[in-house]
Amino acid sequence: MMKPIPTDVITAYIEEHTDPLPPLLKDLVRETRLQTGRLNWSIGRAEGKLLQMIVAISNARQVVEVGTFTGFSALLMAEALPTDGRLITCESEASFARIAQSYFDRSPHGNKIRLELGPAIESLARIPDGGTDFVFIDADKSGYEDYYEEALRILKAGGLVVADNVFWRGKVFITPLKNENARAIAAFNDKVMRDPRVEKVMLAVRDGCYLIRKR
């Protein structure tokens, strides 16, 4: 029987075998660490590259992101959009939005990105039905079920959702669920699993990603 391989060994190996970040994103990582001290909020290189590839291979033209933070995931996804593609990203915290916008302004792909400052549920409500190809959900965990319903409303048939942090730092595996966010994520995961409107596969990437396709 093979001994379990420690997660940090697997993570390091994955990073060694995944494309490097462009220089602007390396600057953003440095600035995010200095200004916010919350670098672990960004999805990181491997998950970022995965999202970028999903956007590219699905030929997405309109992407919506719930949870911009300092713009790391938005910039990677925008790079995979065609020149007339559009990414709408939602953030409620002005100080994070300011950093993100300053990097969108420096990127050759920044003109594809529109940042909506305010509660994501209000920004999502302004997006018309059925015109979006891909939605990335990565904000407050208590909002996931509402963001998911909005995602299904704005997505085209065949459109995709990725929901991040569906392991909630491993806390969804420990029952009874003690943490409020773990309870919200577990309820979200169960709701998606039972939902006949979608196909789904859960991926053990970083803190867990749920890949969901609207039928």
Binding site for ligand SAM (CB under 6 A): 41-43, 67, 69-70, 72-73, 90-93, 96, 119-120, 138-140, 143
E strand residue ranges, the chain: 62-66, 86-91, 113-117, 132-137, 155-164, 198-203, 209-214
Interatomic CA distance for residues 126 and 83, integer angstroms: 23
**Could you tell me the smallest distance in angstroms from the CB atom of residue 153 to ligand SAM?**
17
Nearest CB to ligand SAM, comparing residues 43 and 81: 43
**Could you tell me the smallest distance in angstroms from the CB atom of residue 1 to ligand SAM?**
37
Nearest CB to ligand SAM, comparing residues 72 and 210: 72
**Could you tell me the smallest distance in angstroms from the CB atom of residue 143 to ligand SAM?**
6
C-alpha angle 51-156-133 in degrees, rounded to nearest 5: 25
Nearest CB to ligand SAM, comparing residues 152 and 163: 163
103, two tokens: 């990097």
Interatomic CA distance for residues 47 and 209, integer angstroms: 9
Nearest CB to ligand SAM, comparing residues 116 and 133: 116
